[in-house]
Amino acid sequence: MNAQQTTTNQLPEKKYIRSHEPIFWGLFGAGGMLTAFLTPVMVLVTGLLIPLGLIDAEHLSYEKLHQFVSSWYGAPIVLVLVALPLWHTLHRIFHSLHDLGIKRGRDWQQVICYGFAFAVSVFVFTLLLQMLSL
Protein backbone atom coordinates (compact mmCIF):
# COMPACT_ATOMS: atom_id res chain seq x y z
CA MET A 1 0.00 0.00 0.00
CA ASN A 2 2.72 2.41 0.99
CA ALA A 3 4.69 1.85 -2.15
CA GLN A 4 1.66 2.58 -4.24
CA GLN A 5 0.98 5.84 -2.45
CA THR A 6 4.47 7.16 -3.00
CA THR A 7 4.27 6.45 -6.72
CA THR A 8 0.94 8.24 -7.13
CA ASN A 9 2.30 11.26 -5.33
CA GLN A 10 5.21 11.50 -7.69
CA LEU A 11 3.17 11.30 -10.86
CA PRO A 12 2.75 14.64 -12.60
CA GLU A 13 -0.76 15.73 -13.37
CA LYS A 14 -1.89 14.30 -16.68
CA LYS A 15 -2.66 16.83 -19.37
CA TYR A 16 -5.62 16.04 -21.57
CA ILE A 17 -5.69 17.24 -25.13
CA ARG A 18 -9.18 18.11 -26.21
CA SER A 19 -10.33 16.55 -29.44
CA HIS A 20 -12.44 18.26 -32.07
CA GLU A 21 -13.88 14.89 -33.06
CA PRO A 22 -17.15 15.21 -31.02
CA ILE A 23 -18.27 18.21 -33.10
CA PHE A 24 -17.73 16.43 -36.41
CA TRP A 25 -19.10 13.19 -35.07
CA GLY A 26 -22.22 15.00 -33.88
CA LEU A 27 -22.75 16.49 -37.32
CA PHE A 28 -22.05 13.07 -38.83
CA GLY A 29 -24.70 11.45 -36.63
CA ALA A 30 -27.29 14.15 -37.24
CA GLY A 31 -26.59 14.04 -40.98
CA GLY A 32 -26.83 10.26 -41.00
CA MET A 33 -30.19 10.41 -39.24
CA LEU A 34 -31.49 12.94 -41.73
CA THR A 35 -30.09 10.97 -44.67
CA ALA A 36 -31.70 7.76 -43.39
CA PHE A 37 -35.14 9.26 -42.85
CA LEU A 38 -35.45 11.96 -45.50
CA THR A 39 -33.03 11.45 -48.38
CA PRO A 40 -35.01 8.57 -49.99
CA VAL A 41 -38.22 10.61 -50.17
CA MET A 42 -36.32 13.71 -51.29
CA VAL A 43 -34.67 11.80 -54.14
CA LEU A 44 -38.00 10.25 -55.02
CA VAL A 45 -39.69 13.66 -55.28
CA THR A 46 -37.00 15.89 -56.83
CA GLY A 47 -35.22 13.27 -58.93
CA LEU A 48 -37.98 10.93 -60.09
CA LEU A 49 -41.63 11.85 -59.47
CA ILE A 50 -41.42 15.48 -60.59
CA PRO A 51 -39.09 15.02 -63.60
CA LEU A 52 -41.16 12.05 -64.78
CA GLY A 53 -44.35 14.05 -64.38
CA LEU A 54 -45.85 11.62 -61.89
CA ILE A 55 -46.36 14.57 -59.57
CA ASP A 56 -47.43 17.80 -61.22
CA ALA A 57 -44.38 20.06 -61.53
CA GLU A 58 -46.59 22.88 -60.22
CA HIS A 59 -45.90 21.49 -56.75
CA LEU A 60 -42.23 22.42 -57.14
CA SER A 61 -42.80 25.57 -59.16
CA TYR A 62 -40.49 28.57 -58.93
CA GLU A 63 -43.15 30.70 -57.29
CA LYS A 64 -44.08 28.16 -54.63
CA LEU A 65 -40.50 27.19 -53.82
CA HIS A 66 -39.20 30.75 -53.80
CA GLN A 67 -41.94 31.77 -51.41
CA PHE A 68 -41.06 28.88 -49.09
CA VAL A 69 -37.30 29.38 -49.27
CA SER A 70 -37.51 33.11 -48.58
CA SER A 71 -39.61 32.64 -45.46
CA TRP A 72 -38.05 32.61 -41.99
CA TYR A 73 -39.03 28.97 -41.46
CA GLY A 74 -38.32 27.70 -44.99
CA ALA A 75 -34.73 28.96 -45.17
CA PRO A 76 -33.37 26.97 -42.20
CA ILE A 77 -35.27 23.86 -43.34
CA VAL A 78 -33.71 24.05 -46.81
CA LEU A 79 -30.25 24.73 -45.35
CA VAL A 80 -30.49 21.63 -43.14
CA LEU A 81 -31.91 19.43 -45.91
CA VAL A 82 -29.21 20.42 -48.39
CA ALA A 83 -26.12 20.89 -46.20
CA LEU A 84 -26.42 18.50 -43.25
CA PRO A 85 -26.10 15.26 -45.30
CA LEU A 86 -22.74 16.58 -46.55
CA TRP A 87 -21.32 16.63 -43.01
CA HIS A 88 -22.32 13.00 -42.81
CA THR A 89 -21.04 11.88 -46.22
CA LEU A 90 -17.74 13.75 -46.09
CA HIS A 91 -16.99 12.36 -42.65
CA ARG A 92 -17.48 8.89 -44.15
CA ILE A 93 -15.43 9.70 -47.23
CA PHE A 94 -12.60 10.98 -45.01
CA HIS A 95 -12.55 7.72 -43.03
CA SER A 96 -12.93 5.63 -46.21
CA LEU A 97 -9.75 7.18 -47.56
CA HIS A 98 -7.99 5.60 -44.59
CA ASP A 99 -9.76 2.28 -45.27
CA LEU A 100 -8.45 2.38 -48.83
CA GLY A 101 -4.93 2.84 -47.50
CA ILE A 102 -4.40 6.39 -48.67
CA LYS A 103 -1.92 7.47 -46.05
CA ARG A 104 -0.45 10.63 -47.45
CA GLY A 105 -1.51 13.96 -45.99
CA ARG A 106 -4.12 12.72 -43.53
CA ASP A 107 -4.46 16.20 -41.99
CA TRP A 108 -4.99 17.76 -45.41
CA GLN A 109 -7.50 15.09 -46.31
CA GLN A 110 -9.42 16.13 -43.21
CA VAL A 111 -9.20 19.82 -44.06
CA ILE A 112 -10.39 19.16 -47.62
CA CYS A 113 -13.26 16.86 -46.57
CA TYR A 114 -14.73 18.97 -43.79
CA GLY A 115 -13.75 22.12 -45.66
CA PHE A 116 -15.83 20.97 -48.62
CA ALA A 117 -18.89 20.38 -46.44
CA PHE A 118 -18.29 23.77 -44.83
CA ALA A 119 -17.87 25.55 -48.17
CA VAL A 120 -21.11 24.16 -49.61
CA SER A 121 -22.92 24.98 -46.36
CA VAL A 122 -21.72 28.59 -46.57
CA PHE A 123 -22.65 28.72 -50.27
CA VAL A 124 -26.24 27.61 -49.56
CA PHE A 125 -26.45 29.75 -46.41
CA THR A 126 -25.42 32.87 -48.35
CA LEU A 127 -27.92 32.21 -51.13
CA LEU A 128 -30.72 31.67 -48.64
CA LEU A 129 -29.79 34.84 -46.78
CA GLN A 130 -29.88 36.72 -50.06
CA MET A 131 -33.37 35.41 -50.86
CA LEU A 132 -34.72 35.87 -47.34
CA SER A 133 -37.54 38.36 -47.06
CA LEU A 134 -38.90 39.05 -43.62
Partner 1 sequence: MSKRKPYQREMNNDWWLKNAFYSKYMIREGSSILITLYSLILAWGVFRLSQGEEAFNAWLSALQHPISIIFHLLVLLIALYHTITWFSLAPKAVDLYIKGKPLDAKFIVAGHYISFIIVTIFCLVVIML
Looking from the CA of 99 toward its CB, the CA atoms found within 13 Å total: 6
Interatomic CA distance for residues 12 and 10, integer angstroms: 6
Angle at 84 between CA 31 and CA 69, to 5 degrees: 135
Which is closer to partner 1, CB of 32 or CB of 71?
32
Angle at 86 between CA 49 and CA 109, to 5 degrees: 145
Per CB under 8 A, contacts with partner 1 among 8-47 are 32-33, 35-47
- Say if CB 22 and CB 28 are below 8 A apart: no
Task: Pick the piece of the chain touching partner 1 (CB under 8 A) from 3-11, 15-23, 55-63, 104-112.
Answer: 55-63
> Does 112 help bind partner 1 (rule: CB under 8 A)?
no
Q: Which residues bind partner 1 (CB under 8 A)?
A: 32-33, 35-48, 50-52, 55, 57, 59-60, 62-63, 65-66, 69, 78, 81-83, 85-86, 88-90, 92-93, 95-96, 99-101, 120, 123-124, 127-128, 130-131
